[in-house]
Chain A
């Protein structure tokens, strides 16, 4: 039978007619169809060679044994191997002179930034600006010292930490059990006065005597603080918990007991940091703008 022809267009039709409407046949190129078959065959081969079909716990593994997880693990291992030399140098470095080796310093800052984000940012914030009760590491005020070795020591041993015998330790008494509320108000007004805030002058004068008697031993006679006990300066613009009358009253009455992990120790199955990592994070924190 001769193919039906749409005369005007000189195109064959498929022979299908509905209510006088014919379906034209503009044939696809044959290689195109072969390409389709080729992709199907490729797809079958791919599904056999690579992980493909989802199962209850995972997927069919594929003959080539390919795994994205294994690839990532291999990539990480390769990076760690290529960093091994730097990490060894970092573990043994004298932190006070790390500035003199720009390459090692740059490596430490980058590695330290990664370690900081993973381990420290939960309390100190991703930008290291801290929060109420968690020190801001960007400013020039340090409870336990802002030299790079001081920072490394704090990271290694933690603050008020039970795991490390060398931890930074001090304990402020809860003056609510020692002084009367009126005396505490006087004390608070004295602290407001020496930090340049609005205060009651009469109460502040009473408070000055109370301060010399109860607080100066740790905070210093001029309230300049003492890094030996991690006792803060009370005359500056920086407050760990807050410098207003209400917060100060709370602090004096109940005391504060901020803690920090000793990062050289493992804790509850989570591994701590090795010496190279501690040196890296100390270098990172030291160069954030407040280091001494």
Chain B
């Protein structure tokens, strides 16, 4: 074992990244996606949707205290949370699909961290200038001008953060009312706290932490490797074309003129010519930068490009790469597509067979049955009746079984009860079997409890059981 004189540091300071402005197809695509995603995020709470007088007219609303989720014409109740679970499963499978086909396309184009960082870099460029100006400003000692520029930038960042946090809370309450309350200082404390927290996280993640979040904090880059194979399209450098890099005029050099354009535009601060690496989010900006240089030097585009690892040996040997569809269409992506579609069709199907009326039955198990004075056996059930319509409805309860039962709703006349509009009513229901009935003497009898909306004819049922004394189990006489 040998010890060096001065061991190298085990900790590295962050190298600040100053991405240069770039123009090109991928940059335009990213601007478009940014406009659409941010537009959806900021504007959705302001879309109105008429649901009648008793319900909110906000198209997308998560009403936590009322326990409802409104999405345009769909209203989801807490017991229908499987729709949300289904959407999350679809989101997961969708990520699998896109990652196995197109690599880290989510990271590069649509991830909120990428989109907001892009927006923050854009404002930074507006205030402080392009890459060289920003590097100079970074290295310059503190001056009035530097302070002014930094302050301007931070204030704009904070305003973006405030709008971001503000938009978030609008999803949880009526947006115009909440905006009025927020400005007049009447909104709930939790609204202000949430906004403050999201303002600060947006400012910090988009303005300060940026690529550090992707490299050190996000688990997704580590998982993605498991979904990629040699057919996955990723961004790479055709080193067999580019190397040895250097001045174009000198004989024997490859196409790469070592202009560092690909490095200078990279928001992650990496050199794509080092090969595939974990820090690469495949945003495509290096492709735009390199294509620009290749056009100027009169060389073919695509020195830095999307390609699949499978093509590399073919291209090195001078062959033509496979067409893109041969890479994208393969069992793995087809399987992900099939699974994704199955869940999607399942959810749509579930949405269409939903009923306006619903019940859950919880038999009271302590005690399992009650003996009345005349020997009648009574079972008690706690039943939740859901009326999803916008008017009060009379619900009629019934029971089917091989034995007749008397059904009585506690506190109601007989077997009908009025359930208020858009509400759940909990009722206690008694089923009784006479002393000599089979159900009274057997251990268990299967029963089906029905609920019917008298007006609309909608019906729903749930199966449960009736517990008797068990005196007649196994042909009777056993006790």
Contact = CB atoms under 8 A, between A and B. Distances in A.
Given A1-B4, A18-B1, A29 B212 contact: yes
Nearest to A195: B375
A289 B12 contact: no
Interface stretch (A38-46, A72-80, A233-241): A233-241
B450 interface: no
Contact of B370 (A1, A32, A129): A129
Nearest to B430: A289
Contacts of B435: 237
Contacts of B1: 16-18
Nearest to B375: A237
Nearest to A19: B1
Interface string A12-56: 101111100000010111111100000000000000000000000
A136 interface: yes
B12 A136 contact: no
A88 interface: no
A61 interface: no
A143 to B, nearest CB: 12
Given A18-B1, A238-B373, A289-B410, A30 B11 contact: yes
Chain B at the A interface: SS class: loop
B12 A129 contact: no
Nearest to B10: A27
Contact of A287 (B216, B374, B410): B410
Is chain A's binding surface mostly helix, strand, loop or mixed? loop
A3 interface: yes
Interface in A236-260: 236-238
Contacts of B11: 27-30, 32-33
A289 B212 contact: no
Given A30-B12, A141-B373, A15 B2 contact: yes
A272 to B, nearest CB: 26
Contact of B380 (A25, A28, A289): A289
A250 B13 CA distance: 89
B412 interface: no
B401 to A, nearest CB: 21
B366 A125 contact: yes
Interface residues of A, number: 32
B373 A127 contact: no
A139 interface: yes
Interface in B5-20: 5-14
Nearest to A17: B2
A138 B428 CA distance: 13
Contacts of A139: 370-373
Interface in A173-220: none
Contacts of B4: 1, 3-4, 15
A129 B366 contact: yes
A237 B14 contact: no
A127 B367 CA distance: 6
Contact of B373 (A3, A32, A126, A233): A233
A233 to B, nearest CB: 7
Interface string B257-270: 00000000000000
A129 B367 contact: yes
A119 interface: no
Contacts of B5: 1
B3 interface: yes
Interface in B343-382: 364-367, 370-375, 378, 380
A16 B10 CA distance: 13
Nearest to A12: B8
A127 B366 contact: yes
A287 B412 CA distance: 13
B12 A29 contact: yes
Given A4-B4, A14-B8, A236-B374, 7 more contacts: A17-B1, A27-B12, A29-B14, A31-B212, A141-B373, A237-B371, A287-B410
Closest 10 CB pairs of A and B: A127-B366, A15-B4, A129-B367, A27-B12, A237-B375, A236-B373, A141-B373, A30-B11, A138-B370, A30-B13
29 contacts: A4-B4, A12-B8, A14-B10, A15-B8, A17-B1, A18-B1, A27-B8, A27-B10, A30-B12, A30-B14, A31-B14, A31-B212, A32-B11, A125-B366, A125-B367, A127-B364, A127-B365, A127-B366, A127-B367, A129-B366, A129-B370, A136-B367, A139-B371, A139-B373, A233-B373, A237-B373, A289-B378, A289-B410, A289-B430
Interface of A: 1, 3-4, 12, 14-18, 25, 27-33, 125-127, 129, 136, 138-141, 233, 236-238, 287, 289
Interface of B: 1-14, 212, 216, 364-367, 370-375, 378, 380, 410-411, 428, 430, 435
